[in-house]
Amino acid sequence: MARVSAEPRLEGGSSIWPASSEITGHGDRSVGGVPLAAIAAEFGTPAYVLDEAEIRRRCRDYRRIFPGTEIAYAAKAFLCRGLVTWLADEGLGLDACSAGELELAVAAGMPAERILLHGNAKSPADLDAAVRLGVGRIVLDSCSELPALAARIPLGRRQRVLLRVTPDVAAGAHPAIRTGSDGQKFGLPLSDGSAEHAIGRILRQPELELTGLHCHLGSQITTVRPYVLAVRRMVGLLGRIRRRFGAVLPELDLGGGHGVGYRPGQPALDLADLADRVRAELREACTAAEVPLPRLTIEPGRGIAGPAGVALYRVLATKRTGSGLFVAVDGGMSDNPRPALYGVHYAPELVGRTAAPGRLTATVVGRHCEAGDIIATDVELPRDVHPGDLIAVPVAGAYHLSMASAYNLVGRPPVIAVAGGRSRLLVRRETQADLNHRDVGT
């Protein structure tokens, strides 16, 4: 393989491609030292490619930028056994929302004490698994969870818990992913006293040990100000807890939601600025509230996995109409529902061959029977794009497979890890036999 150039960095040193990505000979692109065309040839399409070195680098960046902070990866972004191994190796913990995520993580080697369980409606199976496995903390979301959890704690044990609080801070790229404001299903609001009422109840529950507060503002947040405001309000609550109940809580979890760019030039959250301003606000707010500095926890998911992934598709058809050029690929909303749900815009690229001169503006669409099955609009592709071509979509490591479905009975794609010039299968393709096996009756 002849290397032509490393992927150019965008302004500020960022790129929508993994740092290992290179433009290679014959119009191809490699990730982790492996040509994308070779991956498509071996594993088929659609497929997800995950750069192990990029995941590990981002884990280390978080630990370096946030020293003394617990980093709990948000499992909902994407989870598999291989990824858990990398996270545990790099010293991260895990933020889980179900018994399934808990069981997989512990089976793959994540120490249970590094795991948090949260969710607005934990099932009996979720709580049973958390207590049985001995997770480090459970994030309570409502007062109704208190007796359900307390009844499961063995005699002589106490379960460490956090309370999820809604600080009424609106943040996030789309209304469907804003979770820090009043009037939505997560947490208990500060504004009407519900959070303080719940704290009093938890402190009176002998089976539970309240160690701190939790909040999560939303997803795809690209500015620091919402986090600073949340710190101010959450520390204010810590001060009121100390005055009213005499309790000093040693932990503050600020959640995640760290935004990344999906197209060249799109903003991403500046992690160094976030760390500096959060630490400064925390010191000032704790001094004003007369409480000691709590230990911080953050929960990045997309910020670690998103830019490490690439989705590969094969072009099935092209169609020129009065409204433009449609390029239809062999995947779509079954393996990436985010454009339909949140209107996200991607930057697909032709790989695997040298293109003829000239570009056209195209809409890349999926194969499913929905008008909203669109992967990307207004993208520049070579004028000679045709069926059989290979399309690569960067920033596909988060909320793709984790939100995938078998719509139209199309099986979910595989996940292929790349590192050091080698590829290996992490998650196999869902086959027609898998789908048939679940259908048990007539």
Summarize pLDDT for 102-152 with one digit per residue, the tens: 999 999 999 999 999 999 999 999 999 999 999 999 999 999 999 999 999
Question: What average pLDDT does the chain have?
Answer: 92
Cα angle 433, 435, 403 (rounded to 5 degrees) comes to 130
CA distances to 79, 246, 319 from 289, in Å? 39, 13, 63
Are both 3-51+306-438 and 52-305 of the same fold? no
More confident position, 96 or 220: 96
Q: Residue 1 pLDDT > 70, yes or no?
A: no
Q: Is the pLDDT of residue 171 over 70?
A: no
pLDDT category, 177, cuts 50, 70, 90? Answer: very low
Confidence (pLDDT) at 46:
98
Is 419 exposed, middle or buried, given 0-12, 13-18 or 19+ CB atoms closer than 10 A? buried
CA dihedral 219, 297, 104, 129 (to 10 degrees): -110
CB 165 within 8 A of CB 203: no
Greater pLDDT, 220 or 74: 74
Q: What is the pLDDT of residues 309-354, one digit of tens each?
A: 999 999 999 999 887 899 999 999 999 999 988 888 899 999 999 9
**Which one is the CATH code of 52-305: 3.20.20.10, 3.30.200.20, 3.40.50.10860, 3.30.1510.10?**
3.20.20.10
pLDDT at res. 187 = 85
Among residues 80, 215, 286, 369, which one is catalytic?
A: 369
- Per-residue pLDDT reduced to its tens digit, 259-288: 999 999 999 999 999 999 999 999 999 999
Tell me the two tokens of residue 182: 């009043």
**Statement: residue 232 has pLDDT above 70:** yes
* Contacts of 114 by beta carbon, 8 Å cutoff, 6+ apart: 72, 88, 92, 93, 94, 136
Q: Is 215 marked active-site? A: no
> Looking at the domain covering 3-51+306-438, what would its CATH class be?
mainly beta
Position 175 scores a pLDDT of 57
Other C-beta atoms within 10 Å of 328: how many? 19
Q: Which of 22-26, 114-118, 388-392, 410-414 has the lowest average pLDDT? A: 22-26
Model confidence band, residue 11 (pLDDT cutoffs 50, 70, 90): very low
Q: Where are the domains of the chain?
A: 3-51+306-438, 52-305
Q: What are the structure tokens assigned to 244, written together?
A: 């009213």
